A and B are shown apart, each in its own frame.
Chain A
Amino acid sequence: MITVKGLSKSFGQLEVLKQVDLTVAEKEVVVLIGASGSGKSTLLRCLNFLEVSEKGEITIDSERVELTKKKTDLNAVRQKVGMVFQHFNLFPHKTVLENIIEAPVFVKKEKKEVASAKAMDLLAKVGLADKANYYPEQLSGGQKQRVAIARALAMEPKVMLFDEPTSALDPELVGEVLQVMKDLARDGMTMVIVTHEMGFAREVADRVIMLADGNIIEEGHPGEIFARPKHERTQRFLNQIL
């Protein structure tokens, strides 16, 4: 589903990603872990071309994007990739329903009634059908994030990316968001997740990838990595957060 070859990314002098290779299979749930500054969020953002890297090649659902060439229609590729942000980034001037139908109506040119009906199904799925006409600021953090997930799903993406989706939430609200993500994984969505929720990773992930200094230093089944980390930096990282 996703193939990344030789991906490099620098911010000025700072090399954040160094020749990263990554493959994600269909229906696979991959969790990226690593210390702050390890490049995990940058890697995720590159998969949606929010960061455009200078070197490498990314293939998403058999659509190849060579990053040195400017010609590719990134908007078309982005439609295949849903993204959920740490700070939700809901559109504050639109209601929950309007947030969700915005892209289907204006990008996919769906009829408003059709998009709305689908949006209501998605809202039911994330348990917020009664909040369709609310504005984002009337919702709790957990509810906002669930709306953001529904908004991304409305474009019917092939892959969902989550960038620390629960880091900005009050502890008691984390569970409801993770539950939605678990449901999504169970339904067979391909997912790449940056998170510090190791319990969630252990339960849901098919594979955990540890990044340090812009390199993948270790990867494997969560049971394996959490129980017997091979790399010394993985051990240190896990000791610090577990």
Chain B
Amino acid sequence: MAFLKAAGLTISITAISLLFATLIGTIFAGFKISSSKLLNRIADLYIGVIRGTPLIVQIMFLYYGLANFLTLDSFTAGALALGVHTGAYIAEIFRGSVQSVDRGQMEAARSLGMPYFLAMRRIIFPQAFKRSIPALANQFIISLKDSSLVAYIAVTDLYSVALSVQGENYMPFETFFVVGIYYLIIVLIFTWFANRIEGKLDVSKPKEVAIP
């Protein structure tokens, strides 16, 4: 079935772009938290430009606009554009959650002689990551749906297949209804996983601790 195969492609382009976005997001969140003015500026520039322009423009620019300098196949271009785009939002999510951790946590870690990056890794990030999960899950869902825009650079994802099927059968109601259901199911499955992970990481609810 064309739809099923396309759904696989939608999932894989989203997954790859999110992996990439999480990596960029982590790096730029680090830049924003850093005390270096230069790194702050670089992060602000990246986040400002990416958030300030539409994803479809970014996709088109990367695939067609840069075609003279950079030849990417449509899947790579789509995944890259989506990753760079989502990375900006994830950077802000991570920055916010790191800064929401009480200052006393860093002070306690440093007072024990832990160097800055060790304290970040062992003490701050685990607490921040847990707090970022609801916003992160939200962002992942947005990205999954935004991935439909790669249809415009000829990636045969769900939405692109829906467009061509509808062009042949002239049944827009049935076609878009079905493709909507596909997206919905993927999002529901993902949401279920996200909730489970959040539950598992919930440190405010103690794990099975025996109270004698």
Contacts and interface: CB of A to CB of B under 8 A. Distances in A.
Given A91-B123, A135-B206, A155 B113 contact: yes
Contacts of A151: 112
B203 A93 contact: yes
Interface in A101-136: 102-103, 106-108, 130, 133-135
B107 A103 contact: no
A75 B113 CA distance: 5
B203 A102 contact: no
A92 B206 CA distance: 10
Interface string B112-146: 11110010001100110010000000000000000
Nearest to A138: B206
Interface residues of B, number: 25
Interface in A125-154: 130, 133-135, 137-138, 148, 151-152
B105 A83 contact: no
B104 A85 contact: yes
Nearest to A84: B111
Contacts of A89: 102, 104-105, 107-108
Nearest to B104: A89
Contacts of A82: 111
Contacts of B189: none
A102 B102 CA distance: 18
22 contacts: A50-B110, A75-B113, A75-B114, A75-B115, A78-B111, A79-B113, A85-B107, A87-B104, A89-B102, A91-B108, A93-B126, A93-B127, A106-B114, A107-B118, A133-B210, A134-B206, A134-B209, A135-B206, A135-B209, A137-B204, A148-B108, A152-B111
Interface of A: 48, 50, 75-76, 78-79, 81-83, 85, 87, 89-93, 102-103, 106-108, 130, 133-135, 137-138, 148, 151-152, 155
Interface of B: 102, 104-105, 107-115, 118, 122-123, 126-127, 130, 203-204, 206, 209-212
